[in-house]
Amino acid sequence: MGAGILGVGHYAPEHVVTNKDLEKIVDTTDEWIASRTGIEERRIAKEDEDSSDMAFYAAENALKDANIDAKDIDLILVATVTPDTPFPSVSCMLQDRLGAEHAAAMDVSAACTGFVYGLVTAQQFIEAKTYKHVLVVGVDKLSKITDWSDRNTCVLLGDGAGAAVVGEVSEGKGILSSELGSNGSRGSDLFQDKKNHLVMNGREVFKFAVRQMPESSVKVVEKIGLNKEDVDYLIPHQANIRIMEAARERLGIAEDKMAETIRKYGNNSSASIPIALSESVKQGKIKDNDLIVLVGFGGGLTWGAAAIRWGK
């Protein structure tokens, strides 16, 4: 028995901020944003709606999809860089709100790669038979660390949450291989400054991501003795359509075989991969026995990928 995904769910705030809206507050245009990033709109949480709230809504949806009661969750892992408070953790807040009374809880900080880190961590607990069910959530409220006067970053970011319930699946299914990595010497390329704002060296991050995403994707597929041609569906971190397309083309994957939610959600950090996964499942784009690859990169710098044979 391996470890795989039993259910998925996601949540996006109701408030939509379009590119036209951003034209009113910074020197930019709808055409410039859309052509360079692929983003047309993003969701922004209300002031009193925090990461723990969004995590709760996404987690409820994932539990329902998995047909698992919160009391049956043994561990909660929340990937976030925007917790409500430094402590208690978002995972502890979520444990209480869900009524997951038997669950241990901890947060994971790996920026946009956080969900992949959380998923691979959950796999270890399941395969070691330490726990039976692990809830993994990726959530970020980037709007609260966005400098809304910086036209280079504010056009990219949005808020949201995605979740997955991880547990035992039948032989040959589930998470088959993974790769996690970091390069702390590149931390200054993407970081949070003393003013609590996100700062990014876009050119350097772009070059890093275009190389790392396809490289990691190929590695996790080769680890299981397959080739890139065997990949049925790619779910990349939704950072920039040009980065995503570069990765897709290097892997030789058709356009309709790559998840794309950036147009309506923007980059919502650790939430972007699980939101894209949840939407793809709900839309029937991922089918039983498909080989899917999740791949992301983020501040740290960090990166991660996982090859998953879909199904229970």
Of 10, 133, 237, 240, which residue is the catalytic one? 237
Q: How many alpha carbons lie under 13 Å from residue 216 in its C-beta half-sphere?
A: 28
Q: Which residues pair with 2 in a beta bridge?
A: 169
The number of angstroms, rounded, from the C-alpha of 148 to the middle of its chain's C-alpha atoms is: 23
Q: Is 5 left (phi over 0), alpha (psi -120 to 50) or beta?
A: beta
| 49-52 contact pairs (CB < 8 A, 24+) | 49/13, 49/141, 50/84, 50/141, 51/80, 51/82, 51/83, 51/84, 51/90, 51/139, 51/140, 51/141, 51/161, 52/83, 52/84, 52/90, 52/93, 52/94, 52/97
Note the maximum CA span of the chain.
54
User: Which residue out of 112, 133, 154, 240 is catalytically annotated?
Assistant: 112
Has 267 been annotated as catalytic? yes
DSSP 73-138: --EEEEE-SS-SSSSS-HHHHHHHHHT-TT-EEEEE--GGGHHHHHHHHHHHHHHTTS-S-EEEEE
CB 136 within 8 A of CB 115: yes
Q: What is the DSSP letter of 264?
A: H
Measure the N-to-C terminal CA separation of the chain; round to a whole number of Å. 10
Q: Establish whether 237 is a catalytic residue.
A: yes
Torsion of CA 267, 272, 275, 278, to 10 degrees: 140
Note if 289 is an active site residue: no
Annotated catalytic residue within 61, 240, 267, 268: 267
Q: 239, 297 in Cβ contact below 8 A?
A: yes
Residues tagged active-site = 112, 237, 267
